[in-house]
Amino acid sequence: MVIRLHKNATTTPAIRREIQKSSLSEKELAKKYGISRLTVRRWKKRDSVEDRSHRLHNMRSTLTPAQEAVVVELRKTLLLPLDDLLVVVREFINSKVSRSGLDRCLRRHGVSNLRKLMPDAEKVPPKKSFKDYEPGFVHVDVKYLPKMKDEDRRKYLFVAIDRASRWVYLEILCDKSAKSATAFLKRLIKKAPFKISKILTDNGKEFTDRFTAHGEKGPSGDHLFDKVCKKHNIEHRLIRPGRPQTNGMVERFNGRIRDILATTHFRDSEDLATTLRRLFNDNYFSRSATIIIPDSILQFH
């Protein structure tokens, strides 16, 4: 029989059994075995002669049960990785939570494996690989930036991503008019290290005249953006109305930016631009991409 015995124990199982059966007083037993009266009293009260586990069974947690419930729902809904979820929890729920504490919370509630929380592969249509494409098929989109205290209006982040190489080009502009979108396209064409053959955009008025006050129509080709595309022999494709996932590559890129904007406070527009530049330079948003940011991102067009 294997008996658990602490390495620093002052009594043996045999002595403990004698203490439990003895009719002597605590003082007499302590003197007889050369131990403290507290040790005698402890073994008098026990039926077993084994040492109990010293492992901590109740881990301290800074999250209340209500906060844990919110964290679990955020994990299931947003499907955020542990580090991204930690940023959100510290910002909006509990600023004292640790990374290990948050990880234990997720494990306790059975939501630590992010892959298992993802939609079943059978329900998700297979994605077409972009590896077979030649560089030159560029996705373009616009992201709203929050209005800063030192601004009288919000700015817009224009993003272009090449489908094959993941090459990224971006600028912050004062508006998202057709004129600004067209100027962005011209600078994009000059900066791209390859010949742009196709551009995919949504149906915003800055990119197309497909939609009017009376409904949908075919693009006229007279839009400023379309004219620049024609001049450079670029095919301008539009996503299906109501299907932003068609432009999913740049949407995912913008989604990472949205997470940062939602969990970070900025002092002013310069602080916002500097933060974005630092994150882009550290390849935070796209570890396999070559990201080009004009110096003018800090002055804004």
Summarised one tens digit per residue, pLDDT across range 256-290 is: 556 655 666 566 666 666 666 665 554 444 444 44
The alpha helices in the chain, defined as continuous H runs, are 13-21, 26-33, 37-45, 65-78, 82-92, 99-108, 114-117, 178-191, 224-231, 248-263, 269-281
Specify if 202 maps to a domain.
yes
pLDDT of residue 199: 92
Of residues 57 and 107, more confidence is placed in 107
Mean pLDDT (whole number) for 100-120 = 87
Do 272 and 164 fall into the same domain? yes
The last residue of a domain, from among 10, 36, 55: 55
pLDDT of residue 111: 92
Specify if 131 maps to a domain.
no
Mean pLDDT (whole number) for 221-232 = 91
Specify if 228 maps to a domain.
yes
Q: Which domain holds residue 203?
A: 137-298
The whole-angstrom separation of Cα 259 and Cα 263 is: 6
Do 147 and 252 fall into the same domain? yes
pLDDT of residue 232: 94
Of residues 113 and 62, more confidence is placed in 113
Do 278 and 256 fall into the same domain? yes
Specify if 100 maps to a domain.
yes
pLDDT of residue 301: 37
Do 197 and 237 fall into the same domain? yes
| Amino acid of residue 26 | E
Do 253 and 192 fall into the same domain? yes
pLDDT grade for 63, boundaries at 50, 70 and 90: confident
Specify if 212 maps to a domain.
yes
Asked whether residue 208 carries a pLDDT value surpassing 70, the answer given is: yes
Please give the backbone phi and psi of residue 157, each rounded to the nearest 5 degrees, phi first: -100, 115
The percent of residues in the chain predicted with pLDDT above 70, rounded, is 66
Q: How far is CA 24 from CA 16, 41, 211, in A?
A: 13, 12, 98
Count up the domains in the chain and report the number. Answer: 3
pLDDT of residue 288: 43
pLDDT of residue 107: 92
Take residue 155 and report the two structure tokens written for it. 């700015």
If we measure between CA atoms, which residue out of 247, 42, 65 comes closest to residue 160?
247
Of residues 212 and 206, more confidence is placed in 206
Of residues 191 and 242, more confidence is placed in 191
Edge to edge, the sheet with strand 198-201 lists 235-238, 198-201, 137-144, 156-162, 168-173, 291-292
Do 207 and 165 fall into the same domain? yes
In CATH, what number is assigned to the domain containing residue 273? 3.30.420.10
pLDDT of residue 143: 79
The whole-angstrom separation of Cα 33 and Cα 210 is: 96
Q: How does 197-224 read in b/e, with b if 16+ C-beta sit within 10 Å?
A: eebbbbbbebbbbbeeeeeeeebeeebb
Do 38 and 170 fall into the same domain? no
Q: What is the average pLDDT value for the chain, to the nearest integer?
A: 76
pLDDT of residue 243: 58
Mean pLDDT (whole number) for 25-45 = 89
Instruction: Give the SS3 label for residue 127.
Output: coil
Tens digit of each residue's pLDDT (9 = 90 or more) over 138-149: 988 887 776 666
Asked whether residue 254 carries a pLDDT value surpassing 70, the answer given is: no
pLDDT of residue 299: 36
Do 246 and 187 fall into the same domain? yes
pLDDT grade for 124, boundaries at 50, 70 and 90: low
Q: How far is CA 52 from CA 13, 17, 42, 43, 159, in A?
A: 13, 16, 12, 12, 62
pLDDT of residue 298: 37
| Amino acid of residue 300 | F
Do 172 and 278 fall into the same domain? yes
Do 42 and 158 fall into the same domain? no
pLDDT of residue 87: 85
Specify if 125 maps to a domain.
no
Specify if 124 maps to a domain.
no
Which residues lie below 8 Å from residue 137, measured CB to CB, with a gap of 6+? 162, 163, 164, 197, 198, 200
If we measure between CA atoms, which residue out of 60, 61, 22 comes closest to residue 43?
22
Of residues 244 and 24, more confidence is placed in 24
If 0-12 CB within 10 Å is exposed, 13-18 middle and 19+ buried, where does residue 172 land? buried
Specify if 142 maps to a domain.
yes
Residue 254's CB is within 10 A of a number of other CB atoms, namely: 20
Of residues 66 and 110, more confidence is placed in 110
pLDDT grade for 198, boundaries at 50, 70 and 90: very high
pLDDT grade for 162, boundaries at 50, 70 and 90: confident
Do 11 and 108 fall into the same domain? no
The whole-angstrom separation of Cα 37 and Cα 17 is: 16
Do 149 and 82 fall into the same domain? no
Asked whether residue 122 carries a pLDDT value surpassing 80, the answer given is: no
